[in-house]
């Protein structure tokens, strides 16, 4: 079982069937909050929907195409962070994430995402990490900005979100940029 210790408060656990009830409950408790930026919320109405997500996540992981983890904050499920896709040919990981409403403002997502960035470069030997967020989603955009990602551009009408199109901002971090940041911290 994949578990990655981030720090004394946070660990990332490979999502599995045993997480279905907890993840669905967290989704359901934060439904109104998460709905603003996540198009799948209205399609996640019962635990079976979460089980289907977990099955798809496990298949993606088994095929080395992605990785979804449950963020554990002091042992409690707080959200999901993962590689929505790993493009092995071009050595790029695409990170996606969400956090339950009650876990906001504690630096959890910044630390969890940093751990996945580090893992992508140190363990998977990837060349680039990509994060995309809706232009108006300030909380989601703040994660790559805090972590030193470069804003690379905007995708017009990048996502259909509850009947309207939203533009996306694309952020990227190259391995050599990550290495420079880590060298300056040492």
The pLDDT of residue 3 is 85
pLDDT, tens only, 108-117:
999 999 999 9
pLDDT, tens only, 21-62:
999 999 999 999 999 999 999 999 999 999 999 999 999 999
Length of the chain: 186
Q: What is the DSSP string of 14-71?
A: E--GGGHHHHHHHHHHTHHHHHTT-TTGGG--SHHHHHHHHHHHHHHHHTTS-EEEEE
How far is residue 97's CA from residue 70's CA, in Å, rounded to a whole number? Answer: 10
CATH number of the structural domain spanning residue 178: 3.40.630.30
Whether residue 159 is predicted with pLDDT greater than 90 in this model: the reply is yes
Kindly indicate the confidence band of residue 186, based on its pLDDT and cuts at 50, 70 and 90.
low
Supply the range of the domain harboring residue 28: 3-185
**51: closest CA among 79, 87, 85, 15?**
15
Phi, psi (degrees; rounded to nearest 5) at 141: -65, -30
Q: In what order do the strands lie in the sheet with 150-161?
A: 3-5, 10-14, 67-73, 76-87, 92-99, 128-134, 164-174, 150-161
The pLDDT of residue 14 is 96
- 116: three-class secondary structure by DSSP: helix
The pLDDT of residue 111 is 98
The predicted model scores a pTM of 0.94
Count: domains in the chain: 1
The pLDDT of residue 15 is 97
């Amino acid at each position: 079982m994949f578990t990655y210790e981030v720090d004394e408060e946070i660990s990332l656990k490979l999502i599995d069937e045993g997480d279905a009830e907890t993840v669905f409950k967290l989704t359901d408790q934060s439904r109104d909050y998460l709905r603003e930026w996540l198009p799948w919320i209205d399609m996640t109405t019962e635990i079976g929907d979460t089980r289907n997500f977990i099955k798809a996540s496990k298949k993606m992981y088994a095929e080395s195409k992605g990785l979804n983890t449950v963020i554990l904050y002091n042992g409690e499920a707080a959200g999901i962070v993962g590689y929505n896709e790993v493009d092995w040919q071009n050595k790029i990981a695409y990170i996606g994430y969400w956090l339950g409403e009650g876990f906001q403002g504690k630096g959890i997502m910044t630390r969890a995402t940093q751990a996945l960035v580090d893992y992508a470069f140190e363990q998977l030997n990837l060349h680039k990490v990509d994060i995309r967020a809706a232009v108006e989603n300030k909380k989601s955009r703040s994660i790559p900005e805090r972590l030193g990602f470069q804003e690379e551009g905007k995708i017009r009408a990048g996502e259909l979100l509850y009947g309207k199109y939203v533009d996306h901002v694309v952020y990227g971090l190259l391995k050599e940029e990550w290495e420079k940041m880590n060298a300056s911290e040492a």
